[in-house]
Amino acid sequence: MANSKYEYVKLYEVEDEVMPPNIIVVRVDGRNFSRFSEAHEFVKPNCKKALELMNECARVVLEHFPDIIFSYGYSDEFSFVFKKETKFYQRRASKILSLIASFFTSVYVTKWKEVFPEKDLSYSPSFRARVILCASVEVLQAYLAWRQNECHLSNQYNTCLWQLIKCGKPEKEAQEMLEVEVCVKYKDDCYPIKRSKRRVTIVHMENIASRRFWNDQLYLLKELGHFSKDVNKTKTEYLKSFQYESRLLLSTWIVIRIDGCHFHRFSEVHKFEKPNDEAALNLMNSCAVGVLEEFNDIVFSYGVSDEYSFVLKKESQLYGRRASEIVSAIVSYFSSMYIMKWKDFFPHKEMMYTPYFDGRAVCYPSSQILRDYLAWRQVDCHINNQYNTCFWMLVKSGRTKSASQTYLKGTQVQDKNELLAQLSGATDYYNKLPPMFRLGSSVYRNKEEKKIVGDKEEGGSIDNICEKVVIEYCNIIEPSFWEAHSATIQING
Ligand code: GTP
Ligand code: MG
Contact between 14 and 361 (Cβ < 8 Å) = no
Residue nearest ligand 1's atom 20 by CA: 264
Summarize pLDDT for 49-76 with one digit per residue, the tens: 999 999 999 999 999 999 999 999 998 9
Summarize pLDDT for 402-453 with one digit per residue, the tens: 999 999 999 998 899 899 999 988 888 999 999 999 999 999 998 776 665 6
Ligand nearest to the CA of 262: 1
* CA-wise closest residue to 90 among 177, 20, 8: 20
Ramachandran angles phi, psi of 301, nearest 5°: -145, 155
Contact between 126 and 333 (Cβ < 8 Å) = yes
Residue nearest ligand 1's atom 5 by CA: 262
Ligand nearest to the CA of 283: 1
Q: What residues are neighbours of ligand 2 (ion), with CB under 5 Å?
A: 259-260, 263, 306
Residue nearest ligand 1's atom 21 by CA: 264
Ligand 1 pocket, residues with Cβ under 6 angstroms: 259-264, 267, 272-277, 280-281, 305-306
Distance 431 CA to ligand 1 centre (A): 22
Residue nearest ligand 1's atom 15 by CA: 264
Distance 355 CA to ligand 2 centre (A): 11
pTM: 0.91
Maximum distance among all Cα pairs of the chain, rounded to whole angstroms: 80
Q: What does the buried/exposed string (b/e) look like for 47-76 if buried means 16 or more CB atoms within 10 Å of the residue's CB?
A: beebbebbbbbbbbbbeebebbbbbbbbbb
Distance 264 CA to ligand 2 centre (A): 7
The Cα 302–Cα 377 span in angstroms is: 8
Summarize pLDDT for 229-282 with one digit per residue, the tens: 999 888 899 999 999 999 999 999 999 999 999 999 999 999 999 999 999 999
User: Is the four-CA dihedral 200, 205, 207, 210 of positive or negative sign?
Assistant: negative
Residue nearest ligand 1's atom 31 by CA: 267
Taking 50 as the threshold, does the pLDDT of residue 386 lie above it?
A: yes
Q: Which atom of ligand 1 is nearest to the CA of 260?
A: 8
Distance 260 CA to ligand 2 centre (A): 4
Distance 218 CA to ligand 2 centre (A): 36
Residue, of 483 and 167, whose pLDDT is higher: 483
Confidence of residue 2 (pLDDT cuts 50, 70, 90): low
Ligand nearest to the CA of 264: 1
Distance 344 CA to ligand 1 centre (A): 21
Summarize pLDDT for 127-171 with one digit per residue, the tens: 999 999 999 999 999 999 999 888 877 755 545 555 655 667 777
CA 101 to chain centre: 5
Distance 352 CA to ligand 1 centre (A): 17
